[in-house]
Structure formats: C-alpha cells, structure tokens
Amino acid sequence: MNKLPVFAAFREVYAGVTRHYIQLLGAAWPAVALMVAMSFAVYGYQEWSGYNDAARAFLKNPNPEDFKNLQRMTGAIPARILSWGSSIVTFVAGAVAAVRWHRFVLLGEKGFSGQPSLRRVRREDGAYVWAMIKLGLVVALWTIFGVILFAFYGSQTGLSEHLKNSGLLSTLFSLAVLAGLCGGVALILRGALVLPHAALGEGSRLGDVFGRSSGNGLRLLGLVVLLYLPFMLLIVVALIASGGSLFRLATGLTVDGLGVTWILTSLVGTAIYFYAVMLQVTMLSVSYREIVGLPEDTRSPEVTA
C-alpha cells in the first residue's frame, strides 16, 4: 500500500504550477477562454439589466425594497436561462480543461497547444464529466445523510438543551463534529482520485481508486490544508484590511461599472482563480501517481518537479 509523501507533494505541486502556469493555460486554452467569456457575458448582462446598479445601491444603503428588487431580477426568466446555461458551459469546459491539465502533469501531453486544430474531443472528457457528477452525487448524499442523522439524534436526545447547560459537553461535541467533518472530507478526497483516473482513460468507477487509496485519507486532507490554508489566510487578511472594498471591487460592484478598474481587477482575479484550480488538479494528479500509480503503458515525465 503506497503512502502519499505529503511535504514532498506539497513542494512539487506549488513548484510545478508556478513554473508551468503559462504552459498549463496553453494546454487548455479554448476551454479557459470559454470560461472567461461566459463570466464576462454574465457580468455584461447584469450591467445591461440593471442588476448591478441595484446591487450597488443595496451595498451602499441596505433596505428591504432593494433586496426585493434584486430577488425579482434574479428570478427573471432571461437571468435564469443565462445562469443555468453559463453554469453548464463552465462545468463542461472546466472538465475539458482539467483533463488536459491532468494529462500534462502525468503524461507530459501539451493538450490543445500541441494540436493543429481544435477538432479533437477526447472520450476521456465525457468520462471525466461523468466522474465529476458521480462524485458530486456522493458528496450530496453523504451531506444529506449526515444532516438527517444529526437532526434525528438531536431531536431524540434533547441535545441542544444539554449543550446549553454544559460548557464541557459543548466543547466535546464541537470536537466530535470537527473530527467527523475531517473524516468525511478525507473519504471524499480518496474518492476524488477517480478524476485523474478518468482523465487517463481508466474509467470513472469510484471503487477503482477508493480501495487502493486506503490509509491515505488524512494524508490527502493534510496536503489540501497545506496547499490552501496560506491562500485562504491571504484572502481573508486582504478583505479585512480593505474594509470590504476589495470584495466590491472584485465583484465589479464599483462606481465605474464596466470601466478600466473592473477589467484590470477581473483579469487579476481570473489569473488567481485559475492558479488555485491548477493547484487542485495538480494535487490530485501527484497524489494519484504516488498512491494509485500510473497505468503500465504510461510513464510520468515529472513535468511538475
């Protein structure tokens, strides 16, 4: 049973994504361009429909009338069609990009940047989409089950009253919940190794990787924490230091609308977003290589080193 070398994987993931960022963008550039275009299209519609004006007014002076106005605009049929359409397109384009990134990391393939045309859609793209859907369903069912179980247990034992009356019990309960969440996330991360598995054309069965990743759940969780904790802390500090103005700027809810400030902010934010997604994809690729191992007919060129 292979064990994930957490710290070595952490260094490899960050070094690999940082060194090969432009190459990774090039490997999936049509999908990346489509995702960016959809984002701009949604924002353009929000500006045209007056949604952003209402949002700016609400942020300056929150009141029930503006909130109702925002709800009405969000529920409009054109807004719903655009929202669902952009979500589906972004989901599929994200899967296409992820397949190219997994194969870049594990096999050294250049993706779209190595093709003379855009005609090829790999069969692995469909398998990857299906793997993402199955993984999402498992997570949703696991979450629903946990909520129902917690609600049933609480109602039968009067848990809320006990927690109010005992500080020690409340602390122990909080620790138990935290441990349960960590365990659940660790199991989900083991299942997520099916994504690089599907990208390599090995199928989308969760069982193919789940059993072979036994004993690595907490290691995967530790790697995720190492990767994203500095990222999240930096964002939180920046938001606090800016007093919320950074959030309004990043979402485009500024006085200049579609002006230069928003465009520049959007470009920087988009670059950071793709960097974070590449960290996730590369983390799963490196973890898959170390835990499950590559198929016998492939060899890793170690492009992330």
Is residue 195 a contact partner of residue 284, using CB atoms and an 8 Å limit? yes
Per-residue pLDDT 10s for the chain (305 aa) are 689 999 999 999 999 999 999 999 999 999 999 998 888 888 788 878 877 777 777 767 777 877 787 788 887 888 888 889 989 999 999 999 999 999 999 998 887 776 554 556 788 999 999 999 999 998 898 888 878 876 766 665 555 565 555 555 566 767 777 788 888 889 999 999 999 999 999 988 888 898 889 899 999 999 999 998 887 887 777 667 655 555 555 555 554 454 566 666 677 778 888 999 999 999 999 999 999 998 875 554 444 43
DSSP per residue, 203-263: ---HHHHHGGGTT-HHHHHHHHHHHHHHHHHHHHHHHHHHTTHHHHHHTT-STTTTSHHHH
* Predicted local distance difference test score (pLDDT) of residue 245: 57
Query: Among candidates 255, 265, 256, 281, which has minimal Cα distance to 39?
Result: 265
Q: What pLDDT score was predicted for residue 244?
A: 56
Residues 6+ positions from 75 with CB-CB distance below 8 Å: none
Q: What is the pLDDT of residue 302?
A: 43
Q: What pLDDT does residue 255 have?
A: 47
Give the C-alpha separation, 1 to 214, whole Å: 8
Q: Which distant-in-sequence residues (6+ apart) come within 8 Å of 124 by Cβ? A: 99, 103, 198, 199, 200, 201
Q: Provide the whole-model pTM.
A: 0.82
Please report the pLDDT score of residue 52 as a whole number: 74
Q: How far apart are the C-alpha atoms of 300 and 106, rounded to whole Å?
A: 5
pLDDT at residue 305 in the model: 37
User: In terms of C-beta density within 10 A (0-12 exposed, 13-18 middle, 19 or more buried), how is residue 95 classed?
Assistant: buried
Please classify residue 145 by burial: count the beta carbons closer than 10 Å to its beta carbon, then call 0-12 exposed, 13-18 middle and 19+ buried. Answer: exposed
How far is CA 37 from each of CA 41, 46, 254, rounded to the nearest angstrom? 6, 14, 21
